[in-house]
Structure 1
């Protein structure tokens, strides 16, 4: 992400105010096709939760294409309705999560067109980033590395794996702090370290270790996790955002965000998968418990913000909550995924058969919404659908 970002869209603190046929529809809508894709208009049958969950995920994916799709090289508009000012900056990390969302669709549909879409988004991200993998934000590059690892695994693409390795090496070489450890947030701001930079690095490190067998990735991941736990993870499992942002040694305890909790859950799951110690799942469960107790409002999350970067935060929690549920049971979490996605569709499913999501799923969607917020709805509905797959 460029360092020169308009104030209303600058990262984080300033942004907080801001089946095969379906896959073909998604590809056509987000590519250079001239005619709009067909709408997915279907009832959501409450008596058949498995079918309902899959249908909702399909609707969310098709709605992403219909309402945010753009001709190349934009590929995805950053707001709905379309706003040229919103499209002006390049959101590197939003595009990385769009790759993840396309892989989510492939895992549900097994349609090759969904992997083609993920590849198109990957190539577009690099192209729009000046034909370069790297930028100045270490969390951005961590998200891209994670998306590339999933794409490499799904498509058997060695080049995606090579790019993920290059990103992880780059983050370690330039982002590891020699003053107390931890990955810093961005180049030029080496005093500030946070959960969003360390979380993706830890998760990617474990996955790279298991894929390649190389010890360096596991050593790095565990060094980062140790710093993270020592510094930002509370005894009750709540995960703080960052430290020393203002060069005062203070922890940002007021920034209580869903994605910080989701990243720690994901890191604990990866430690369990690597080493087999179930205590890591117990730690993850503590963080899930405190998240549901403190960050929800009835059946839904309290919004992390109003679109912008914050629109993606809850989606990241859902993604790693789904990873936890692939390894262990958690009744309250399973129920929350159901109740929250129920609320999303009860309040924001449109009369034309599409979904345009807002940040607050307990209310109708606002007139304007961001791509980040829509991606969270896609990610959550895909996690809900995945709970019925064996």
Structure 2
């Protein structure tokens, strides 16, 4: 059931959003909204990190079933990204954006069982060269004095997957030490100012997801060499899952956090990606791990059931709601970019129109497809 629904999500996004870049053959990118306006069709308006998550979702589908069509689309998307960046994936001041793409490209490499391409090595090096020498962590963007979880969480995941466990641990320890809220969730970041460091307190869903993901990577890497440290990172991951279940979900387990449109549309999808990672990888060697695995699985499947129940269908394919407990609204593009006036006043704004919102729905169904095979 969930495999079929994930296939429908993939088909919906590819039919509505995927197109060549500037009519160039063998390229592919996802337009950032559907129905798109002229600027969006031309990829004048595009979002670097949304494309990274689109690529990640393409890899999810190909990992489930690696068809020739899927692998070809992945290759064309990578080419589209490189062309749109004029050959330099490092042409971006935001470290979190670059990290999302680095993670997706590394998964492409693993899927294809190929050596790391030069453009990915350059991207990873560019990112790690940005580490602030005073704090030992990455800023949100170049020249910025804001150090946040959406940057350092993915950085820790990347470092761990590249075998740099010391760096991964340093980043995760910094986030746990400085940004753990009283309710057990991870706050957004720390902004340095003339008056000293100020904590930015919002607790976004994706902040929880990336720290869970980083802890799982580190724990797995340390399992044989430093079991005590491995258990400590698993404890962090378990605590975050319990906090998410208590603070970010309904009593029935549906993740219920108002993220709206734009970048926020991706936040819940990123969370469930790493909840699924935990379900698939946490060792079942004690009761606490088994209980946490069940909670994470329940959060994913309850959310997926709710999103599927609240979807719209257009031409037989789903449109996912931005709010996972409410009905989806029919997207339309009137008043969102047709003129400079509408850009300012946003005459009509349908959150479901954004690629980010639809990608979150796709991520959720891919997560459900992964964990549905795991016994309850």
> What TM bracket, shorter-length normalisation?
0.7 to 0.9
In structure 2, the residue corresponding to 1:168 is in which secondary structure? Answer: helix
Q: Partner residue of 1:221? A: 168
Check whether the contact 2:12–2:317 (CA below 8 A) recurs between aligned residues: yes
Taking the aligned partners of 2:274 and 2:329, their CA distance within structure 1 comes to: 27
Pair 1:187 & 2:136 matched: no
- For 1:275-286, list aligned pairs within 5 A: 275-276=222-223, 277-286=230-239
1:295 matched to which residue of 2?
A: 248
What is the CA distance between 1:91 and its match in structure 2? 0.7
Conserved? CA contact 1:347–1:365, under 8 Å: yes
* Equivalent residue number for residue 265 of structure 2: 311
Distance 1:357 1:117, change over 3 A: same
Structure 1 position 332, deviation (Å)? 2.1
CA contact (8 A) 2:168 2:218 kept: no
**Within 5 A, what are the aligned runs for 1:52-131?**
52-73=1-22, 75-86=29-40, 87-131=43-87
| Distance across 2 between alignment mates of 1:310 and 1:376 | 10
What are the ranges of 5 or more consecutive residues in structure 1 without an aligned counterpart? 1-51, 210-216
Match of 1:333 in 2: 296
Shift of 1:389: 4.5
Which residue number in structure 2 is paired with residue 250 of structure 1? 198
> Which residue of the other structure, out of 52, 74, 94, is the alignment partner of 1:137?
94
Q: State the match for 2:340 in structure 1.
A: none
Q: CA 1:340–1:388 in structure 2 vs 1: closer, same or farther (change >3 Å)?
A: closer
CA distance in 2, matches of 1:123, 1:274: 32
Q: In structure 2, what is the Cα distance between the partners aligned to 1:387 and 1:226?
A: 28
Counterpart residue number, 1:377: 361
How far, CA to CA, are the matches of 1:60 and 1:232 in structure 2? 35
Q: 2 CA distance for matches of 1:119 and 1:172?
A: 26
Cα deviations by residue, 1:89-133 (Å, 9 ceiling, x for unpaired): 231111111111011001111213222212211121121112101
CA RMSD of aligned residues (A): 2.0
- Aligned residue in 1 for 2:126: 170
| Residue 272 (1) aligns with residue 219 (2) | yes
SS in 1 for 2:46: coil
Separation in 2 of the partners of 1:156 and 1:166? 19
Task: Report the equivalent of 2:226.
Answer: none
1:338-383 C-alpha deviation (Å, 9 max, x unpaired): 1111111111141632111121122221233200111111111011
Say if 2:183 is the partner of 1:233.
Answer: no
Cα distance, 1:155–1:184 mapped onto 2, change above 3 Å: same
4+ aligned runs moved over 6 Å, structure 1 = none
Q: Which ranges in structure 2 are unaligned for 5 or more consecutive residues?
A: 23-27, 224-229, 283-289, 332-352
Corresponding residue for 2:349?
none
Following the alignment from structure 1 to structure 2, what is the Cα–Cα distance between the partners of residues 236 and 274? Answer: 28
Deviations 1:286-326 (A, max 9, x none): 10111121122454323442210011111111111111001
Length, aligned pairs only: 328
Instruction: Decide whether aligned partners of structure 1 residues 159 and 309 sit closer, same or farther in structure 2, where only a CA change above 3 A counts.
Output: same
